[in-house]
Amino acid sequence: MKINFTLLFILIFPIILFAQKQATYNQKAEEIKKNVWDKQNPMFEANTVPEKYSNESAVVLARSFDMQRTAGGKFKFMIITAASITEINKSTTWREKIKINDKAALERYSTLEYDKIIDKTTSFLLVNVKDKKEVFVGVKIIKPNGKEVIVNTSEEVILANSKNKDKSGKLAIPDLQVGDIIDYYISTVQIKQGSDDESENRYTFLLADEYPILSYSYKFQYGKKINVFNMSTNGAPEAEVSTNEANDQIFIYAGKNVPKYVNEIWSSPYRELPYFCISSYFRTKYDQMTIPGVNPLSKLDRDKKISRLNNYLEDFKASFFNRFIQKNDFIKDHTEDYFKTNKAYKNAPLDSILKVLYNNWKYSTFSYYSLTEFDINEMNYRTANSKLSTQKMCKTLCDMEIPHNILVVSSRFSNSLDDVFEENDFKTLIRVNGPKSVYLCFDRINLGLNEIPVDFQGEKAVVLSPRKRGDYNYVFTQSTSTIPVTTFNDNVLAERLKVDFSKDNMQVLTINRNVNEIGLMKLSDQLNLCYVEDIDKEITLATFNEDLKKRSTDRKYYNAVQAAFDNGRKDIKKHFISEITDQYEQEPKDLINFKVNSSGILTSKLEHESSFTMENFVKKAGGNYILEVGKLIGKVSKVEADKKIRQTNIYMPAARSLSYDIKVNVPAGYKFTGIEALNTNITNTSGSFNATAKIDGADLILNVKRIYNVAYLDKKAWPEVSDLIDAAGNFFEQKVLLEKLN
């Protein structure tokens, strides 16, 4: 066989030459260190802290982030053919200078942890497609007398990942003490060849921190051919935009004197705090011709004044013309078949048709399993693609001539709809217009018909009203609406507890617990306690569809899935133990019985029950016992003193009601005393906390109820909400005496 060595040399020589020119890791580290430490930066010269911050745990004297990015197309020879591959060169440097004022801050900054090397380079024959990121660190300590100590970063601990070429680093900061200033940087250098995704190059910075910031600067420098998009919101400064001699685009966000932000319960930082986003992408002309979905005439490229949301909505509507996004004939046909005759289908109430349709959508979406990504404990946590599911359902409803709208909405725990920056910043759902509106949401398997995720409730929505003109021709009219909000009667947790003292050891309680949950309150427990195989069977039976064996493509697939089901079933007990542990902040001594009576997957209510023993609720006091009775409602913490003043508005999960009906059986020869202190009644406009206690025969009967009236409150209502939290926290701390009779 004759080999053309000339051609082989031409292919290999550039690779060899390129490799010879590459600087070593240590050479790069030294160059970066000189660039950071030796380059004058007035922002990092100050070493004094204003008197008003002397009692803060730490103070950020200066913070900077510097990013430089270039991109271009280069040809890679793939032996048989050649392709144009985008090459991205990106470097970032994060630097902070922080005054350490107490032991809490000292502990936080006494160690730096970081990714050292992330290498996802792939090879094919003689060709490498690079994707490598290297990380470099530098640290110096400034003592109160002004002496600077450079930390030896070569003493870092390197941890290698056995599964790939990645490495992580951990660096201890020796001799760092309270009163010192730490000045450190973490710098990354990345070379990546291949497709360039805008989301990978998105930077979002909240201009808030747990420590006060005296000055900050975020600088982004992009090559002239790179498309850049940026947005400032909630009062964040706009970028100062300029160009340099090479026509690189430069964006700088700078400011001073940022007050500290105390992390608060029930908050939504992206609705309340200033932040900015900036992202970029680059595509060669070759990319525009060959990558599916790339539109070289994107409105964003033609007119950057158009809102990001409107651009994405235009793309969303245009995708209805895509022949690869078909209506879901499976769920349409199975819904019609469910009613057996055309007459029965035509006479069925709309909500009955929608229930069957939605259950068939669940079956078609969640009753199939990928063996390559099959983790039995993660199956309940799979999520549907809301936009794709909405498109398919919309086409199906149009075919069924069921009037409906598409609603576009953002989570109230992320950006607002007006501040959409990328496609993942909003979701879609469907509202069916009948005698009563019915909502179809596409998320996890446990979300029911007409159950709207609490994240969307009360939010402004863009309404797209579709009209079908042909198989792939849809037109839309656009308006706005507001997503409905549930009440505390729609989100309920109700527990019934029967508590007995152990005959063998009075300091051990046996608790029989029955829990009923609806609305928001059931969602987390459903995913944890309801077993995936049981859910699969429940949906299959409800929709008259094929069971696992019949729908399996082959015996190998069936055996693999069934084996995973059988093997995972033994972990159900662990899930019940974890639920009890979360409730009481300690594991049960023994879990005796446990079961799910009603999954709530196809109905409104989840019901589960368990029997278990618990320690640490009862203490011996001479011949008597002290029962920490408040613990029976689960852990509730009072508002800490430094959290009494609220900085931001209140975003609770939802309006909700939690009740506990408790019966504590008294052992023979004992009686309860001191129950009067258990009676509590606090009611205000934000909600209520009520607890009543009585003796029935010899037994203690407790009824405890907590209600939060609404999900969103102005921060002015925080004193009222704090009163409700503290009332529950005070009850949690309550004790009663079990007194021995003479």
pLDDT digits (tens, 9 = 90+) for 468-505: 888 778 999 999 999 999 999 999 999 999 999 998 89
Band of pLDDT at residue 326, cut at 50, 70 and 90: low
3-class DSSP state for residue 340?
Answer: coil
Work out the angle between the directed axes of helices 532-543 and 350-366 (0-180°, nearest 10): 140
Distance CA 155, CA 188 (A): 19
Distance CA 302, CA 233 (A): 23
Task: Between 191 and 528, name the one with better pLDDT.
Answer: 528
End-to-end CA, the chain: 106
118 beta partners: 133
pLDDT surpassing 90 at residue 299 = no
Q: Is 682 exposed, middle or buried (0-12, 13-18, 19+ CB in 10 A)?
A: middle
DSSP for 176-241, written as a single string: --TT-EEEEEEEEEEEEES---GGGG-EEEES-BSS-EEEEEEEEEE-TTSEEEEEEETTPPPPEE
Closest CA to 485 of 466, 461, 462: 461
Decide: 709 and 720 in contact? Cβ < 8 Å: no
pLDDT for the residue 306: 74
Decide: 712 and 692 in contact? Cβ < 8 Å: no
Band of pLDDT at residue 362, cut at 50, 70 and 90: very high
Decide: 194 and 86 in contact? Cβ < 8 Å: yes
Parallel/antiparallel/unpaired status of strands 203-206 and 181-193: unpaired
Closest CA to 693 of 734, 648, 742, 741: 734
Parallel/antiparallel/unpaired status of strands 605-614 and 509-518: antiparallel
Neighbours of 141 (CB within 10 A): 20
Closest CA to 194 of 67, 83, 68, 79: 83
- Domains, the chain, with CATH or none: 5-298 (2.60.40.3140), 329-482 (no CATH), 492-740 (2.60.120.1130)
pLDDT surpassing 80 at residue 731 = yes
Neighbours of 500 (CB within 10 A): 16
Band of pLDDT at residue 308, cut at 50, 70 and 90: confident
Question: Could you tell me what percent of the chain has a pLDDT over 90?
Answer: 69
Decide: 669 and 506 in contact? Cβ < 8 Å: no
pLDDT for the residue 324: 61
pLDDT digits (tens, 9 = 90+) for 679-712: 999 999 999 999 999 999 889 999 999 999 999 9
pLDDT digits (tens, 9 = 90+) for 390-407: 999 999 999 999 999 999
What letter represents residue 366's amino acid?
Answer: F
Distance CA 568, CA 122 (A): 35
Q: Which residues contact 63 (CB under 8 A, 6 or more apart)?
A: 95, 96, 97, 213, 215, 216, 217
Distance CA 664, CA 737 (A): 13
pLDDT for the residue 149: 93
pLDDT for the residue 513: 98
Distance CA 432, CA 349 (A): 13
Distance CA 319, CA 425 (A): 18
pLDDT for the residue 161: 57
Calculate Rg over the CA atoms of the chain.
Answer: 31
Parallel/antiparallel/unpaired status of strands 404-409 and 275-281: unpaired
- Token output for 597: 């009576």
pLDDT for the residue 197: 60
pLDDT for the residue 21: 54
- Token output for 451: 């159950």
Q: Is 580 exposed, middle or buried (0-12, 13-18, 19+ CB in 10 A)?
A: buried
pLDDT surpassing 90 at residue 578 = yes
Q: What are phi and psi of 364, to 5 degrees?
A: -70, -25
Closest CA to 514 of 657, 658, 630, 660: 660
* Residue entry with tokens 């709530």: 600
Mean pLDDT of the chain: 87
Task: Between 302 and 341, name the one with better pLDDT.
Answer: 341
pLDDT digits (tens, 9 = 90+) for 600-633: 999 999 999 999 999 999 999 999 999 999 999 9
Task: Between 322 and 62, name the one with better pLDDT.
Answer: 62
Decide: 274 and 255 in contact? Cβ < 8 Å: no
Distance CA 446, CA 4 (A): 62
Q: What are phi and psi of 171, to 5 degrees?
A: -120, 120
pLDDT digits (tens, 9 = 90+) for 364-381: 999 989 887 778 888 899
- Reported as type and span, the H/E element at residue 36 is helix 25-38
pLDDT for the residue 196: 58
> 3-state secondary structure string, 641-657?
HHHCCCCCCEECCCCEE
pLDDT for the residue 126: 41
Contacts for 505-509: CB closer than 8 Å, 24+ residues apart: 506/618, 506/620, 506/625, 506/667, 506/738, 507/615, 507/618, 507/619, 507/620, 507/625, 508/589, 508/613, 508/614, 508/615, 508/618, 509/613, 509/614, 509/615, 509/617, 509/618
Band of pLDDT at residue 294, cut at 50, 70 and 90: very low
Distance CA 302, CA 282 (A): 15
Decide: 651 and 692 in contact? Cβ < 8 Å: no
pLDDT surpassing 70 at residue 33 = yes
Q: Which residues contact 680 (CB under 8 A, 6 or more apart)?
A: 689, 690, 691, 727, 730, 731
CA 606 to the chain's CA centroid: 24
Q: What are phi and psi of 280, to 5 degrees?
A: -155, 160
pLDDT surpassing 90 at residue 268 = yes
Q: Which alpha helices (H) appear in 260-349, and where do they start and end?
A: 269-272, 285-290, 299-302, 308-318, 329-338, 342-347
pLDDT digits (tens, 9 = 90+) for 231-266: 999 999 999 999 999 999 999 999 999 999 988 999
pLDDT digits (tens, 9 = 90+) for 65-112: 999 987 654 433 333 444 444 566 888 999 999 999 999 999 999 988
Task: Between 158 and 415, name the one with better pLDDT.
Answer: 415
pLDDT for the residue 28: 86
What letter represents residue 425's amino acid?
Answer: D
Distance CA 525, CA 537 (A): 19
∠ CA(569), CA(574), CA(578), 5° rounding? 140
Minimum mean pLDDT range among 69-83, 179-193, 326-340: 69-83
Rounded average pLDDT over 137-149? 93
* Residue entry with tokens 């926290």: 729
Q: What are phi and psi of 678, to 5 degrees?
A: -75, -20
pLDDT for the residue 216: 96
Distance CA 448, CA 452 (A): 8
Band of pLDDT at residue 13, cut at 50, 70 and 90: very low
DSSP state of 367: S
